[in-house]
Amino acid sequence: MAASKIIVVGSMNMDLVTSTNRIPAVGETVIGDAFHTTPGGKGANQAMAAARLGAEVTMVGAVGDDAFGEAAMNNLKQQGIGTDAIRIVEGCSTGIAAITVSDGDNSIIVVPGANHSITPAVIEAQEEVLKNSDMLLVQLEIPLDSVIRAVQLAKKHNIRTILNPAPIQPLPMELLEMVDYLTPNEHEQTLLFASTDGSVKQLERLKEKCIVTKGSKGVMLYQNGEEILIPGVEVEAVDTTGAGDSFNGALAFALCQGKSVEEACRFANVVGAISVTKFGAQAGMPTMEEVEGFLR
């Protein structure tokens, strides 16, 4: 298997998950049922998904100088992900998501913390690593300027780029024109096109770059004006958190392996499906062996 060198520029968080039978009202205290911490952040999740499959992954990101940062970093290290380009920011908190889960409902507060310290200059300092990669994978949980800088540098060195436009926000046409693949889910695709101004030609080009994930319905891609629907793989879904992240990591890996876009989407569609059969965003991400076992 050829090495797939993937550089992920993105967020690292610690998810703090509380389960309770009722989400408290303002001013109220309730006793919860359970609490656990689990590493997350779209950047770290996607890095993990690609590494599990066998990709050589370098993470460019930032954590605070606290226990969550150390745990988030160690989690990536244990999977063999390169962590030299992760900054530890003094006096800053690691990004967290405080998640309250109650009977299928949830409420979430995200504090970006150190993720917001990833400036364009931080990205520029990693140009050598980027230059030696086969693929850049980015999302939108770090400052947009830095996402743009990473994509500009990738373009300069002819490195292919996947932009997972999540969480969705208005994006400049300059960025959208530079990336090779866009991976919105259905909701993000609608908002992406609603918030983007461009000529008919530009929007048509944009559509051709889109690989739209549709949950249990699978994946839609566009080639020469034709829609290609890859149907979802039937599985028993227990937790869909991080399905999109599994999909993106797998897509990057498969493209680096030389698969065509359609083949890579078929592969990532299987990986995304396997990931929802287990609890936890990262815990459900399969190894290559598991994928092969599933397909047998």
Site string for ligand ADP, 21-50 (x = CB under 6 A): ------------------------------
Q: Which of 15, 66, 134, 245 is catalytic?
A: 245
Looking at beta carbons only, is 72 or 276 nearer to ligand ADP? Answer: 276
273 contributes a contact to ligand ADP by CB under 6 A: yes
Q: What is the DSSP letter of 210?
A: B
For the CB of residue 239, give the shortest distance to ligand ADP in the complex, in Å: 10
Q: How far apart are CA 256 and CA 133, in angstroms?
A: 10
Q: Residue 135 or residue 250: which is nearer to ligand ADP going by CB?
A: 250
Residue numbers 145-174 binding ligand ADP by CB under 6 A: none
Radius of gyration from C-alpha coordinates of the chain: 19
Nearer to ligand ADP, 30 or 288 (CB): 288
- Give the one residue of 214, 259, 266, 278 binding ligand ADP; rule: CB under 6 A: 214
Distance CA 159, CA 67 (A): 35
CA–CA–CA angle 81, 278, 256 (5° rounding): 40
The only residue of 58, 161, 185, 189 in contact with ligand ADP, by rule CB under 6 A: 185
Give yes or no: 245 in active site. yes
Which residues pair with residue 292 across a beta bridge? Answer: none
- The pattern of x and - marking residues 233 through 262 that bind ligand ADP according to CB under 6 A reads x-x-x--x--xx--x---------------
Cβ proximity of 47 and 76 under 8 Å: yes
> By Cβ distance, which residue is nearest to ligand ADP?
244
From 108-116, 130-138, 210-218, 253-261, give the range in contact with ligand ADP by CB under 6 A: 210-218
Residue among 51, 67, 71 nearest 8 (CA): 51
Task: Quickly list DSSP for 56-108.
Answer: EEEEEEEEESSHHHHHHHHHHHHTT-B-TTEEEETT-PPEEEEEEEETTEEEE
Q: Applying CB under 6 A, does 266 fall inside the site for ligand ADP?
A: no
- With contact defined as beta carbons under 8 Å apart, do 9 and 61 qualify? yes
Element (H, E) at 208: helix 200-209
Least distance CB 168 / ligand ADP (angstroms): 10
Q: Which residues bind ligand ADP (CB under 6 A)?
A: 185, 213-216, 218-219, 232-233, 235, 237, 240, 243-244, 247, 269, 272-273, 276
Q: Which residues are catalytic?
A: 245
